[in-house]
Structure 1
């Protein structure tokens, strides 16, 4: 093994940045079994508790029995099944868009849409966008302008500076995955419309969560005409894969230009069957989304009362910012000892000096579960009052 590999691993350990994997001993859910213990899990993106739902498992089994285990090829060869076409129509309806196209993951979707739409032009990207958006910008061979987080005025100024550029793309997370705040989508769309730019919204953490489950645009009451929306099937919808919804012309361009769609084997039938079942549950059980919202309010209110700098937001992602890596690791470990799995998040996922606990709540958490976590965190704050709270990083 080359020495530089060992050196890099040692550097990660020395900076409290080393990561390991913890295998679950059963399905993901509000309660999980790991390391021989049952834990209350406040770290997953399974916001609606569908990952282990028997209806999704049965949907996967039905699809496998009829369509087989694999798609057999990429989408543009022989890999487009009737299941793909039907699910894409359902996803377009969910987002209120003309058309949709499936991708194998949210990461691949963002790479595909940004390289296809942004190539040779200008991409304007929020400074706290997801890593997959950052990498999509890098691969697009475009000029990339990074605007201040959730700052439409800075975005408008940068758009104005590129008035002579015909191909302009504005890209933003809808719900930001590490802070839980929402992009100011109405103002972003207004600035983009004035300057002839396409708006791409990453709705990975908004689909099934806000706007009655339909996402960021619906949360703000915005008609989605002209929007390009990426969503995932593997978070609130409990399955796997992703999609891009928007105008039919954009869908057609992606089919012809998105390399991360063209050059990979299509999503297999069991995954499509599970995703289709999840959409059915979302449509017939709106109370799941309502229960998620109620649990979100309970968690945020409880943390505020305990002295944490937590804003009033409608999303189930609640960061407790502690500053250094060591503090985040220590708090996570102390919660683990009390039976709570709350994952520490460190750079480069978040900016230096903002290491945190990223708490996520599910529709399937009992109110008592949430209260118990709040009490445990309040105990930690009382024992470690020097832990830095940074409301400006969560606003």
Structure 2
């Protein structure tokens, strides 16, 4: 057997030859439509800061006030000495925002999904997941020790067939509200109806819907007019449309108390800095009061899709800020990304295993911080590189 260095170097070289190697880019300033990177200004279309709040003056001021009041670290897990008044106030505000009795903060969306699934199901149970769910949801299902079944993407009839065949004690159906790599919405009303017929619980990860969809940005569940009875487990992240960091789970009192007692990724993780909670509360107020941000984002999405259609570009059918341009081959997607960057535009190439083989793409995302002129520039550049 080769030594560690030799074995890993061989694998890394293989990834490079397959155009699957990943690189980090070093930014030299805050998030925004334009970024400072490698000594130049870059127009970015790959951020999840959908409402342009990550560098908003009110959010920044609240964060600094939080540091003055609470310091820079929480010091411990929530169940030791890490749960501050700032955390508690944010939980209450988020619960009111999504219309649920309780909310529990988690340090990351990944840890929230792993924690919820493992706390609710075990060896006697079964979990049913959309084939294209986020990695954190899939990992949560695999690590829970329950029987694990993936149904066809956005196919409630495939889910129904899988539920028909199970004799599990508990049945948990898990889906993204908005799928992060194609921007498509899950058919939540159909999934909820199927889950109800089979006495299953529906869990929705609304990382990319919260703040963007539904009345006042309450997310994909609200967008479809569903409530807690249809989707009893709601997960949201704070590092996308809300512009800060962390995640939460919303639901009944019994759900939240169960997670406090049993979710290992909550119990054994340091709480987020209280200052982040203070900043998130300020960001949440902007989401609630500045509806023009969602309105502007909707107009930019329409502008981009109309322009792309006129140019004959192959986009996924998405009503969200995520507007992927399908390429197919991983190497071709990387080359297109590099050509755009040469023109001063940053769009990330998404390749397997993040997406299925043969479906590599440019993941274009729009934000309320962009202008119509910047979207027009993106369309002009796409014409040139293609």
| TM class, shorter-length | over 0.9
Q: Residue 300 of structure 1 aligns with which residue?
A: 305
Aligned equivalents of 1:44 and 1:237: distance in 2?
Answer: 12
> In the alignment, is residue 210 of structure 1 matched against residue 213 of structure 2?
yes
- Contact 1:210–1:314 under 8 Å retained in 2: no
In structure 1, what is the equivalent of residue 191 of structure 2?
A: 188
CA shift for structure 1 position 243: 0.4
Distance (whole Å) between structure 1 residues aligned to residue 302 and residue 226 of structure 2: 24
Instruction: Give the distance between the partners of 1:263 and 1:319, measured in 2 at CA.
Output: 37
TM-score by length of 1: 0.94
1:336 aligns with 2:341: yes
Whole-Å Cα distance in 2 between the matches of residues 321 and 98 of structure 1? 41
Q: CA deviation at 1:233?
A: 0.5
- Superposition pairs of residues 148-163 of structure 1, within 5 angstroms: 148-162=152-166
How far apart, in 2, do the equivalents of 1:293 and 1:93 lie? Answer: 25
Per-residue CA distance 1:202-240 (angstroms, 9 max, x = gap)? 100111111131101111111233521111000110100
Contact 2:315–2:326 (CA under 8 A) maintained in structure 1: no
Which residue in the other structure is 1:275 paired with?
280
Q: Does the 8 Å contact 2:316/2:324 carry over to 1?
A: no
1:221 aligns with 2:225: yes
- Aligned-pair CA distance for 1:312: 4.9
- CA-to-partner distance for each residue in 1:28-71, whole Å, 9 max, x for gaps? 11111111111110011010111111211111111111122222
Residue number in structure 2 paired with 1:58: 61
The equivalent residue for 1:373 is 378
2:71 to 68, 92, 99: 68
The answer (yes or no) to whether the contact 1:300–1:311 under 8 Å persists in 2 is: no
Contact 2:121–2:170 under 8 Å retained in 1: yes
Contact in 1 for aligned 2:210/2:219 (Cα 8 Å)? yes
**Cα contact 1:300–1:312 (8 A) shared by 2:** no
Aligned mates of 1:134, 1:39 — CA distance in 2: 34
Any idea what SS the aligned residue of 1:190 has? helix
Residue by residue over 1:166-185, the C-alpha shift from the partner in whole angstroms, topping out at 9 and shown as x without a partner, is 31100000000000000000
1:134 corresponds to: 138
Q: Deviations for 1:131-184, whole angstroms, at most 9, x for unmatched residues?
A: 01111111100101100000000101111112x323110000000000000000
| Contact in 2 for aligned 1:111/1:136 (Cα 8 Å) | yes
CA distance in 2, matches of 1:2, 1:380: 38
Q: CA RMSD in A?
A: 1.2
**Secondary structure at 2:46's aligned position in 1?**
coil
- The one-character-per-residue Cα deviations of 1:100-132 (angstroms, maximum 9, x if unpaired) are 100000000010011111222100000000001
1:243 is paired with a residue whose SS is strand
Residues 95, 224 of structure 1: 8 Å contact kept: no
SS of 1:330's equivalent in the other structure is helix
Shift of 1:311: 4.9
The aligned residue for residue 258 of structure 1 is: 263
Q: Which residue of 1 aligns with 2:94?
A: 91
Q: Following the alignment from structure 1 to structure 2, what is the Cα–Cα distance between the partners of residues 95 and 29?
A: 27
**What is the 5 A alignment of 1:28-67?**
28-67=31-70
Distance 2:121 2:335 in 1: 42
Matched residues in 1 for 2:92 and 2:162: separation?
A: 36
Alpha-carbon offset, residue 321 of structure 1: 1.0
363-372 or 303-312: which moved more? 303-312
CA distance in 2, matches of 1:227, 1:148: 22
How many residues end up aligned between the 2 structures? 380
Q: Work out whether 1:110 is the aligned partner of 2:104.
A: no
Matches within 5 A, 1:20-31: 20-31=23-34
Match of 2:150 among 146, 152, 161: 146
Distance 1:259-1:167 versus aligned 2 partners, 3 A rule: same
| Uncovered stretches (5+) of structure 2, i.e. residues with no partner | none
Instruction: Give the Cα separation in 2 of the matches to 1:101 and 1:336.
Output: 40
Q: Does 1:201 align with 2:200?
A: no
